[in-house]
Amino acid sequence: MDPQVFIRLSIGSLGLRIPGTASAAKSTIRLLSSPCSCEIRLRGFPIQTTSVPFISASETIPDHQASVSSFYLEESDLKAIRAPGCFYAPQSCLEIVVFSGKKGNNCGVGSKRQQIGTFRLEVGPEWSQGKPVILFNGWVGIGKSKQDNGKPEAELHLRVKLDPDPRYVFQFEDESKLSPQIVQLQGSIKQPIFSCKFSRDRDSQVVPLNNYWLNVSDGHDQDADRRERKGWKVKIHDLSGSAVAAAFITTPFVPSTGCDWVARSNPGAWIIVRPDACQSESWQPWGKLEAWREPGLRDSVCCRFRLLSEFPEGGELLVSEIFLNADKGGEFFIDTDRQLRTGPTPVPSPRSSGDFSALSPVVGGFVMSCRVQGEGKISKPLVHLAMRHITCVEDAAIFMALAAAVDLSIEACRPFRRKIKRGNRNSW
């Protein structure tokens, strides 16, 4: 398997201080009385926002290992941001705008942030060289003081680094439930790697798992489908035809009391498994995916993924909880950087795809992503995997099973009383 070129642009080690000037005392009081934040901007990417801690001691240096923001760029992104821009911004740059105060309303009274200053770093040729490089590391003055002859009112500490982060890119050639082939994408080349086999047998089946047995029942008639969705199974086969990963529904997707959708209080669940190296014709549990529907103005399907320990006392470890738009779909991902920005849930960093026991977000970063379509749409999941976490083809297969389960969960969480138009290929 040949990876595609990606680079990771990381920004971290943030800190803000006031240099020793005549206005330092006043500025320090103002900064201490309100939280500081910054917007991190790069052309073609969504703006990222993070907090900036105030550094009171002049000799203190923020943790250089702490990454608070990351951008992942492929070759087309690098070409786009290096292309000439509009007349007022001919050169692309990384821009970090620092603010004090909060944005929004407070008890009906509008509150405004005050801009402290801006740091800019131009995009240079080193961005395309595919080598690790520190673009900036240290203190820099931002903003100007009117009282002290234009001297910097504040100083920002940051560390900006580029690292090569190649990925394997896979595409399901059709919907998961239509048992498609899975190809690896390398430019315009499509190379078959796996096949996906979806089934839901009428009869109950017992699947052998290490340490316990899993009953996977079905009931494939339409009346049962209106009451519950269960017994769905996906197996991932390599080119030789051997099953190298699988996903099974273990908790049926059923409507909760008083509503016709799968609710958070009683989510449906999949178990993601791989072949047991010690017992033939048996499976080793690897992960658990739960899914439910969150109703609202824009209905969402929440997918929560946990890793399962090989040992009974190991328990479960939450690594991702993502909300996908039920109508438009979205991106399920495992990424320590994005998880730490969007929520308090600690996310482990895998040493390989089968071992997520190391808890260091610094070496973790991006692990996988899976883009799927919304309900009633033709979904051909697109899967990205970080090369550094894939040691063999079987490692990639387990993520294909997870991606198929995420894709099928969109349909499994569809409201039970919703009418499906005749002739829709997504009708069950």
Of 162 and 257, more confident: 162
Q: Stretch 69-86: mean pLDDT, rounded? A: 83
Q: Stretch 246-257: mean pLDDT, rounded? A: 94
What are the tokens at 162? 């580029």
Q: Stretch 328-336: mean pLDDT, rounded? A: 93
Three-class SS of residue 428?
coil
Model pLDDT, residue 421: 47
CATH superfamily, domain 8-163, is: C2 domain (2.60.40.150)
- Residue 32 pLDDT more than 70? no
User: Cβ(354)–Cβ(373) under 8 Å?
Assistant: no
Model pLDDT, residue 201: 64
Phi then psi for residue 415, to 5 deg, are -55, 140
**Residue 313: CB atoms within 10 Å:** 5
Of 40 and 315, more confident: 40
Whether the full predicted model's pTM is greater than 0.75, yes or no, is yes
Please state, in angstroms and rounded to a whole number, the distance separating the CA atoms of residues 393 and 274.
Answer: 12
> What DSSP letter does each residue of 149-204 carry, written as one string?
TT--SEEEEEEEEEEE--EEEEEESS-GGG--EEEEEETTEEEEEEEEEEE--SS-
Of 354 and 311, more confident: 311
Residue partners of 341: CB distance under 8 A and separation at least 6: 48, 50, 68, 69
pLDDT tens digits, 141-151: 997 765 555 56
Model pLDDT, residue 24: 56
Helix (H) or strand (E) holding 24: helix 24-32
Model pLDDT, residue 427: 45
| Adjacent-strand bridge partners of 273 | 246, 285
Model pLDDT, residue 370: 97
**Residue 54: CB atoms within 10 Å:** 16
Q: Name the pLDDT band for 270 (thresholds 50, 70, 90).
A: very high
User: Cβ(416)–Cβ(255) under 8 Å?
Assistant: yes
Model pLDDT, residue 81: 85
Model pLDDT, residue 1: 82
User: Cβ(30)–Cβ(82) under 8 Å?
Assistant: no
Q: Which of 425, 424, 358, 421 is nearest to 389 (CA)?
A: 358
Domain ranges (residues) in the chain: 8-163, 167-412
Phi then psi for residue 24, to 5 deg, are -60, -45
Calculate the CA 286 to chain-centre distance: 19
What are the tokens at 331? 């991106």
Please state, in angstroms and rounded to a whole number, the distance separating the CA atoms of residues 69 and 117.
Answer: 19
Q: Which of 215, 124, 232 is nearest to 177 (CA)?
A: 232
Q: Stretch 230-235: mean pLDDT, rounded? A: 95
pLDDT tens digits, 176-223: 999 999 999 988 899 999 999 999 865 445 555 655 445 554 444 444
Q: Name the pLDDT band for 423 (thresholds 50, 70, 90).
A: very low
Model pLDDT, residue 167: 95
Model pLDDT, residue 218: 45
Number of H helices, E strands in the chain: 6, 24
Three-class SS of residue 48?
strand
Amino acid at 307: L
Calculate the CA 425 to chain-centre distance: 29
Question: What letters, b where the CB count within 10 A reaches 16 and e where it falls short, cover 190-226?
Answer: eeebbbbebebeeeebebebeeeeeebebbeeeeeee
Q: Stretch 267-278: mean pLDDT, rounded? A: 91
Cα(first)–Cα(last) distance of the chain, in Å?
A: 35
Phi then psi for residue 328, to 5 deg, are -100, -15
pLDDT tens digits, 95-138: 999 998 876 545 544 457 789 999 999 998 899 888 999 999 99
CA distances from 382 to 31, 170, 330, 407 (A): 45, 6, 11, 10
Model pLDDT, residue 187: 82
What are the tokens at 24? 């330092």
DSSP strand pairing (382-386 vs 189-199): unpaired
